[in-house]
C-alpha cells in the first residue's frame, strides 16, 4: 500500500492526519456548503450582508416550498425522469446486444465496428447538432420528449457498447463454446447464459447513464424549446433568470436539481465507480 | 416437436410457416408505418393542433417499427440459410438495431455537418420542402480565418486544454492523501467525489454565486484581508475595501480563468477516483521490494507507483481532454460567452452562431464545428491507436 499506512506513523502523525481530513473536506466542499446555507436563509439576510453567518431564521421548508409553489420545478423534475428512464433502458438493452456481438463472435468486422462505436462516443456534440436538429424537424419529433430520448439512446449506445464489450470479453469463452457444441441456439446462449453473467455491468451502466442524462444540458437546450418539456437542468437556468437577485431561491432550486444523482451515487456507489473507472485498472 | 420423431426432418430446413407469417407481419407493419401521419392521428384522436398529435404519432410509429424489427428477426432466423450459417449471421442480427440507430444519429451527422460547412443556409426549407441553401465552397472557412472571435475561441480552447490538465496531478495528490485505512475514510472518499455527480449547470451556478463581488464566497474571503467595516454618516455599517474585490466573471481578463477553475472542481474529483481505484490494485510485492531497496517518498512514487498507475493516468488524460474540449454547460450558465465574447470556446461560439438569437448561420456554425471535430479527431485517433495496440497484445 502506498503511501505508507498512517497506522505506522507516530502518534502525532496520526493525530495530524485525522485532523487534516475534515479540514480538507471542509475546504473542498465549501462552495457547496455555502450554497446550502444560502438556500435555508431568508432573503433579508442576504440584503443585510449576513451571507455566511448563522441565518437569522431557518427557512428550509419555506424556501424549498416557494420554489415548488412559484415555479414549474415539479414538472421539470418529472420531465427529467421521463427523459432519463427510457433512455437508460433503451441504450443499455441495445448495448447488451451490440456488446455481445462484438465480444463473443470472431468476425472480420468486429474490431472496426467496435472502434466505430468508441470513436462516435468521443466526438464533440456540436458536429452532430445541426443535422440532428434538421432530422428531428423533418421527423416532426423536435420539441418532444421522445425525440430527445431517441437521440440520447442512440448516442449513449456508443459508451454502453464500449463498456459491455469489454466486460463480456472478460467472460470465460469456453462456456459459450460448450453451449454451442450442445446445439443451443445463439439467442438462447445470449439470453440464458451471458445476460445473467453481466448483471453487474448492467447495473453499473444503468446508474451511470441515468446520471449522465439527468445532468445533460446541451441536448435539452437544442432539441427542446417548449417550457412544458424542459428538464430540470434547463429549468434551473430559466429560474436563474426569473429570480434575479433572489439567491436563496436560486440556490434552493440548484440543490434540488443535484439531489437525485447524489442519492443515486450514494445508493449505488460500487456500481457507479466501477463504471467510471472502466479500464483504469487493467494492463 | 412431436412430429420430428415420426417424420425425420432436416434440421436446417426453412420453417415455412414461421417465415411466411413473419413476412406478412413485416409487410403490414411497413404499410402501417407509411399510413400513420400526424394529420391522420390528429383526426383520429381529436387534437385541435398538429403539435399535440406529434407525440402519439411518434409512439404509434415506434410500436410498428418495433413489430417490424421483431418480424424481421423471426423471418431471418426461420430461414435455412441462417440455420446453416448461424455463427456468421448472428452477430449482424445482434448488431443491427444498435448499429443502425448509432449510424443515423451519430456517424452520418458528422459527414452531414462537414457538408453543411460548404454551404450558406439558415436551416429552413421552402414551402415545397426544397432546401433553401446554396453551395459556397470554402467561403465559410475564409470568413472564419478572418474572424477575431474565432481566434479568441481557439485561444480559450487551448487555455482550457492546458489548465484542465492540472486536474490530473491534483487528482493524484488527493488520491494519495486519501489512500489510507482510517475509520470513516470511505465516507471521506465519497464526499470528495461528490462534485463530479452534480450537474455542470449547478456547478456553474454555485461558482457564479461564489464569484459575486458583493456577497459571494470570494468577496467574503477578500474582506478578511482587504476590507474593514466602518460606520457611515447615517450610522449604518458599511464595508470599505481597498482594493475593491474583483468581479471575476465581469472582467474579460479573468472570466475564462474563473470558469476553468469552476470546471476543474468536478474534473479533479473524477481523476481522484480513477487514481484511488488504480492505487487499490497496485501489487504490494513491488512496493515491499521497493522498500527493501530503500525507495520511499518521491522516489517510490516516481519509479514504482507511477509506472503501475499508467492505465489510470491514460484514462484520466483522455477524459480530461474530452472534458476540456466539450466545455459548454459552464460557459452557457456562467457568462454566455461574454463579457464581449472573451469566454467563448469553439463549442459555445458554434452554438451561438448557429442557433443563437437572431442568427441562423448553419453553414458558418458547421465550419466551426468541423474545426472542433478535427482537433478532437487527433485525440480520438490516438485513443483508438492505443486501444488497437492493447487488442493486438491480448490476442
Q: What is the pLDDT, as a whole number, of residue A156?
A: 95
**pLDDT tens for residues B72-104?**
999 998 888 888 888 888 999 999 999 999 999
Find the domain containing B27 and state its range. 10-83
- When divided into structural domains, chain A yields a total of 2
Q: What is the pLDDT, as a whole number, of residue A282?
A: 45
Of A5 and B1, the one with more pLDDT: A5
**pLDDT tens for residues B249-303?**
888 888 999 999 999 999 999 999 999 988 888 888 888 888 888 777 788 888 8
Contact by Cβ (8 Å): B106, A123: yes
Q: What is the pLDDT, as a whole number, of residue A283?
A: 33
Residue B95: inside a domain, yes or no? Answer: no
Query: Within the 144-183 window of chain B, which residues sit less than 8 Å (CB to CB) from chain A?
Result: 176-177, 179-182
Find the domain containing A17 and state its range. 9-68
Residue A118: inside a domain, yes or no? Answer: yes
**pLDDT tens for residues B307-359?**
888 888 988 998 899 999 988 999 998 988 878 888 999 999 999 998 877 67
To 10 degrees, the CA torsion angle through B142, B146, B148, B154?
Answer: 50
Residue A1: inside a domain, yes or no? Answer: no
Banded model confidence at residue B151, pLDDT cuts 50, 70, 90: very high
Q: Are residues A92 and A40 in the same domain?
A: no
Contact by Cβ (8 Å): B334, B208: yes
Residue B191: inside a domain, yes or no? Answer: yes
Of B236 and A206, the one with more pLDDT: A206
- When divided into structural domains, chain B yields a total of 3
Q: Are residues B342 and B262 in the same domain?
A: yes
Q: Are residues A233 and A260 in the same domain?
A: yes
State the average pLDDT for chain A.
Answer: 87
Q: Are residues A107 and A230 in the same domain?
A: yes
Query: Within the 271-330 window of chain B, which residues sit less than 8 Å (CB to CB) from chain A?
Result: 273-274, 277-282, 284, 287, 296, 300-301, 304-305, 311-312, 315-316, 322, 325-326, 328-329
Q: Are residues B20 and B74 in the same domain?
A: yes
In three state form, how does the secondary structure of chain A look?
Answer: CCCCCHHHCCHHHHHHHHHHHHHHHHHHCHHHHHHHHHHCCCHHHHHCCCCCCCCCCCCHHHHHHHHHHHCCHHHHHHHHHHHHHHHHHHHHHHHHHHHHHHHHCCCCCHHHHHHHHHHHHHCCCHHHHHHHHHHHHHCCCCCCHHHHHHHHHHHHHHHHHHHHHHHHHCCCHHHHHHHHHCCCCHHHHHHHHHHHHCHHHHHHHHHHHHHHHHCCCHHHHHHCCCHHHCCHHHHHHHHHHHCCCCHHHHHHHHHHHHHHHHHHHHHCHHHHHHHHCCCCCCC
Residue of A nearest to B56 (CA): A146
Banded model confidence at residue B9, pLDDT cuts 50, 70, 90: low
**pLDDT tens for residues A89-127?**
999 999 999 999 999 998 899 999 999 999 999 999 999
Q: What is the pLDDT, as a whole number, of residue A49?
A: 65
Q: Are residues B220 and B202 in the same domain?
A: no
Q: Are residues B56 and B200 in the same domain?
A: no
Q: What is the pLDDT, as a whole number, of residue A31?
A: 87
Residue A229: inside a domain, yes or no? Answer: yes
**pLDDT tens for residues B30-40?**
999 888 888 88
Q: What is the pLDDT, as a whole number, of residue A141?
A: 86
CA distance A222 to chain B (A): 8
Find the range with the poorest average confidence among B4-18, B220-234, B378-392.
B4-18
**pLDDT tens for residues A218-268?**
999 999 988 888 999 998 888 777 776 677 888 888 888 888 888 888 888
Q: Are residues B216 and B350 in the same domain?
A: no
Amino acid at each position: 500500500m502506498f503511501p505508507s499506512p498512517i497506522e505506522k506513523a507516530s502518534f502525532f502523525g496520526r493525530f495530524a492526519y485525522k485532523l487534516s481530513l475534515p479540514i480538507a473536506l471542509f475546504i473542498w466542499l465549501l462552495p457547496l456548503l455555502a450554497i446550502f446555507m444560502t438556500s435555508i436563509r431568508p432573503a433579508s439576510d442576504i440584503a443585510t450582508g449576513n451571507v455566511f453567518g448563522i441565518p437569522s431564521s431557518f427557512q428550509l421548508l419555506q424556501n424549498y416550498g416557494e420554489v415548488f409553489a412559484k415555479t414549474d420545478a415539479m414538472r421539470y423534475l418529472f420531465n427529467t425522469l421521463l427523459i432519463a428512464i427510457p433512455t437508460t433502458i433503451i441504450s443499455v438493452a441495445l448495448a447488451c446486444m451490440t456488446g455481445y456481438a462484438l465480444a463473443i463472435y470472431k468476425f472480420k468486422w468486429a474490431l472496426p465496428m467496435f472502434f466505430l462505436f468508441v470513436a462516435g462516443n468521443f466526438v464533440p456534440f456540436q458536429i452532430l447538432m445541426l443535422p440532428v436538429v434538421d432530422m428531428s424537424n423533418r421527423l416532426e419529433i423536435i420539441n418532444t420528449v421522445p425525440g430527445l430520448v431517441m437521440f440520447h439512446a442512440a448516442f449513449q449506445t456508443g459508451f454502453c457498447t464500449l463498456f459491455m464489450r469489454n466486460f463480456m470479453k472478460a467472460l470465460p469463452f469456453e462456456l459459450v463454446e460448450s453451449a454451442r457444441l450442445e446445439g443451443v441456439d445463439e439467442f438462447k446462449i445470449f439470453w440464458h447464459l451471458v445476460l445473467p453473467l453481466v448483471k453487474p455491468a448492467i447495473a453499473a451502466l444503468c446508474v451511470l447513464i441515468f446520471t449522465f442524462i439527468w445532468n445533460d444540458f446541451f441536448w435539452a437546450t437544442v432539441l427542446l424549446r417548449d417550457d412544458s418539456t424542459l428538464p430540470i437542468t434547463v429549468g434551473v437556468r430559466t429560474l436563474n433568470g426569473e429570480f434575479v437577485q433572489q439567491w436563496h431561491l436560486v440556490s434552493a432550486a440548484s440543490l434540488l436539481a443535484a439531489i437525485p444523482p447524489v442519492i443515486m451515487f450514494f445508493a449505488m456507489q460500487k456500481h457507479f465507480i466501477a463504471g467510471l473507472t472502466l479500464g483504469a485498472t487493467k494492463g | 416437436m412431436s412430429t420430428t420423431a415420426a417424420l425425420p426432418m432436416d434440421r436446417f430446413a426453412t420453417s415455412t410457416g414461421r417465415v411466411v407469417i413473419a413476412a406478412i407481419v413485416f409487410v403490414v407493419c411497413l404499410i402501417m408505418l407509411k399510413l400513420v401521419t400526424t394529420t391522420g392521428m390528429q383526426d383520429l384522436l381529436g387534437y385541435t393542433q398538429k403539435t399535440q398529435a406529434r407525440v402519439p404519432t411518434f409512439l404509434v410509429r415506434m410500436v410498428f417499427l418495433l413489430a417490424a424489427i421483431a418480424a424481421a428477426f423471426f423471418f431471418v432466423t426461420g430461414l435455412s440459410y441462417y440455420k446453416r450459417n448461424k455463427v456468421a449471421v448472428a452477430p449482424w442480427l445482434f448488431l443491427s438495431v444498435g448499429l443502425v440507430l448509432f449510424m443515423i444519429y451519430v456517424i452520418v451527422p458528422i459527414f452531414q455537418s462537414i457538408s453543411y460547412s460548404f454551404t450558406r443556409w439558415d436551416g429552413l426549407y421552402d414551402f415545397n420542402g426544397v432546401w433553401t441553401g446554396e453551395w459556397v465552397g470554402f467561403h465559410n472557412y475564409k470568413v472564419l480565418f478572418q474572424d477575431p472571435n474565432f481566434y479568441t475561441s481557439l485561444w480559450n480552447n487551448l487555455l482550457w486544454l492546458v489548465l484542465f490538465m492540472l486536474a490530473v496531478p491534483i487528482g493524484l495528490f488527493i488520491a494519495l492523501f486519501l489512500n489510507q485505512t482510517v475509520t470513516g475514510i470511505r465516507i471521506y472518499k465519497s464526499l470528495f467525489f461528490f462534485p463530479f455527480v452534480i450537474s455542470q449547470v449547478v456547478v456553474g451556478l454555485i461558482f457564479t454565486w461564489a464569484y459575486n463581488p458583493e456577497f459571494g464566497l470570494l468577496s467574503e474571503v477578500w474582506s478578511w484581508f482587504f476590507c474593514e467595516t466602518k460606520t457611515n454618516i447615517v450610522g449604518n455599517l458599511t464595508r470599505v475595501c481597498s482594493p475593491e474585490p474583483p468581479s471575476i466573471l465581469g472582467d474579460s481578463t479573468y472570466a475564462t480563468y474563473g470558469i476553468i477553475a469552476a470546471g476543474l472542481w468536478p474534473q479533479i474529483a473524477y481523476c481522484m477516483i480513477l487514481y484511488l481505484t488504480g492505487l487499490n490494485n497496485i501489487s504490494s510485492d513491488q512496493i515491499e521490494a521497493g522498500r527493501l531497496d530503500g525507495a520511499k517518498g518521491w522516489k517510490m512514487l516516481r519509479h514504482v507507483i507511477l509506472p503501475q498507475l499508467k492505465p489510470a493516468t491514460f484514462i484520466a488524460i483522455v477524459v480530461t481532454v474530452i472534458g476540456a474540449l466539450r466545455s459548454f454547460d459552464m460557459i452557457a450558465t456562467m457568462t454566455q460567452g461574454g463579457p464581449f465574447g472573451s469566454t467563448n470556446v469553439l463549442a459555445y461560439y458554434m452554438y451561438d452562431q448557429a442557433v443563437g438569437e437572431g442568427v441562423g448561420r448553419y453553414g458558418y456554425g458547421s465550419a466551426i464545428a468541423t474545426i472542433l471535430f478535427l482537433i478532437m479527431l487527433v485525440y480520438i485517433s490516438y485513443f483508438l491507436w492505443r486501444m488497437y495496440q492493447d487488442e493486438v497484445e491480448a490476442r
